[in-house]
Amino acid sequence: MSTATVASGSLTPTKKRGTPLTKKRQWRAAYLFVIPFFVIFITMLIIPLFYSGYLSFFATRLVGGVSFVGFDNYVKTFTDPLFLAGVGRTALFLVIQVPIMLGLALFLALALDSGRVRGSKVLRLLIFIPYAIPGVVATLMWGYLYGQDFGPIDQILGFLGLGQPNLLSDSNVLGSMMNIVTWEFVGYNMIIMYSALRSIPSELYEAAEIDGASQFRIAWSIKIPAIRPAILLTVIFSIIGSFQLFNEPSLLRNIAPNAISTSYTPNFYAYNLAFVSQNVNYAAAVAFILGIVIMIVSYVVQLTTQRRERLG
């Protein structure tokens, strides 16, 4: 055997044995971790979703029992005054509460990111704590504070001679719900925006300060445009949350039954149709229409934001 042959033979790469077997084991391990998620996802979401869609095409009548009605339940929702009134209240809630909540969250995120606030770590925790409180507990707590006969707010205002407003009246109860939701979710949205701000390179701020830009100018021209995707994410989450408003009307109704009806919000209306009135077929149609409305509104907001970014 010549030296050249040995050299050429040594240069020939050897094939790694057992690679296909290793990959098969990796794939098996991956499937073992993923399959439980898909089983739960299909069992708890996909199958109930299809079953609800199936129920929405039927109706239970006193004469004839259960019968196929096609899209009659869906058509009925567009002429149902209770459902339309609930959608109107939710739209008003969305237009007023969401800008206030996100504006406050953005202000707090910018203030904490500026580095000029003392005790920023403690403040972040204090602002975020309301989100850690369950929504049911938060609503019960604020319901106690709003109480006209026993609430501290009413008693303090009466002691100061400022009158005793009924915060759970027909004209005030929606604003009271806005306050509860804002208190709960300002910290959550602030954390999202603050995390996005921390990912911006500090060199941009230093260059702007050298050019003589003020803190307001830096925030308006650099920080806010840089975190637009995070702001858009909070907007979409807030839209979905507004149409899913349930805890507040369902719990406050116990102390304000004259101001909050069983159809106060679409989500609360669907719940009462299904579990109180036992009209599961129409409740399924209402739930699907509500889901479609949420998708349309979220898509319009996202599309509008993208167009503005392209034009800008």
Question: Looking at the structure, do residues 111 and 236 belong to the same domain, yes or no?
Answer: yes
Residue among 175, 135, 148 at smallest CA distance from 255: 148
Question: Looking at the structure, do residues 257 and 132 belong to the same domain, yes or no?
Answer: yes
User: Average pLDDT, stretch 129-142?
Assistant: 94
Question: Looking at the structure, do residues 232 and 289 belong to the same domain, yes or no?
Answer: yes
Question: Looking at the structure, do residues 163 and 230 belong to the same domain, yes or no?
Answer: yes
Q: Out of 41, 68, 95, pick the residue that ends a domain.
A: 68
Question: Looking at the structure, do residues 205 and 88 belong to the same domain, yes or no?
Answer: yes
pLDDT confidence tier of residue 2, bands split at 50, 70 and 90: very low
Question: Looking at the structure, do residues 44 and 184 belong to the same domain, yes or no?
Answer: no
Question: Looking at the structure, do residues 141 and 192 belong to the same domain, yes or no?
Answer: yes
Average pLDDT score, the chain: 88
Question: Looking at the structure, do residues 144 and 254 belong to the same domain, yes or no?
Answer: yes
Residue with structure tokens 């304000």?
256
Q: Supply the pLDDT for residue 7.
A: 47
Question: Looking at the structure, do residues 28 and 80 belong to the same domain, yes or no?
Answer: no
One-letter amino acid of 81: P
pLDDT tens digits, 239-282: 999 999 999 999 999 999 999 999 999 999 999 999 999 999 99
pLDDT tens digits, 7-59: 444 455 555 554 678 888 888 888 889 999 999 999 999 999 999 999 999 99
Q: Is residue 5 part of a domain?
A: no
Q: Is residue 164 part of a domain?
A: yes
Q: Is residue 9 part of a domain?
A: no
Given a contact cutoff of 8 angstroms between Cβ atoms, the answer to whether 112 and 123 are in contact is: yes
Q: Which of 193-202, 214-223, 302-311 has the lowest mean pLDDT?
A: 302-311
Q: Supply the pLDDT for residue 234.
A: 95
Q: Supply the pLDDT for residue 78.
A: 93
pLDDT confidence tier of residue 203, bands split at 50, 70 and 90: confident
Q: How many domains does the chain have?
A: 2
Q: Can you give the CATH number for the domain in which 221 is found? A: 1.10.3720.10
Q: Is residue 6 part of a domain?
A: no
Q: Out of 37, 68, 99, pick the residue that ends a domain.
A: 68
Name the phi and psi angles at 100, rounded to 5. -65, -45
Burial string for 53-92 (b: 16+ CB within 10 Å, else e) reads eebbbbbeeeeeeeeebeeebbebbeebebbebbbebbee
Q: Is residue 7 part of a domain?
A: no
Q: Is residue 11 part of a domain?
A: no
Q: Supply the pLDDT for residue 312.
A: 62
pLDDT tens digits, 97-108: 999 999 999 999
Question: Looking at the structure, do residues 307 and 231 belong to the same domain, yes or no?
Answer: yes
Q: Supply the pLDDT for residue 286.
A: 95
Please give the residue range of the domain that contains residue 53.
Answer: 17-68
Q: Is residue 3 part of a domain?
A: no
Q: Supply the pLDDT for residue 289.
A: 94
User: Average pLDDT, stretch 172-197?
Assistant: 95
pLDDT confidence tier of residue 4, bands split at 50, 70 and 90: very low
Query: Which are the contacts of 165, defined by CB distance < 8 A and separation ≥ 6?
Result: 154, 157, 172
Question: Looking at the structure, do residues 46 and 147 belong to the same domain, yes or no?
Answer: no
Q: Out of 68, 102, 127, pick the residue that ends a domain.
A: 68
pTM for the whole structure: 0.84
Question: Looking at the structure, do residues 49 and 143 belong to the same domain, yes or no?
Answer: no
Residue 172 has pLDDT above 70, yes or no: yes
Residue 61 has pLDDT above 90, yes or no: no
Q: Is residue 47 part of a domain?
A: yes
Q: Supply the pLDDT for residue 1.
A: 46
Q: Using CA atoms, how far apart are residues 275 and 252, in angstroms rounded to an integer?
A: 18
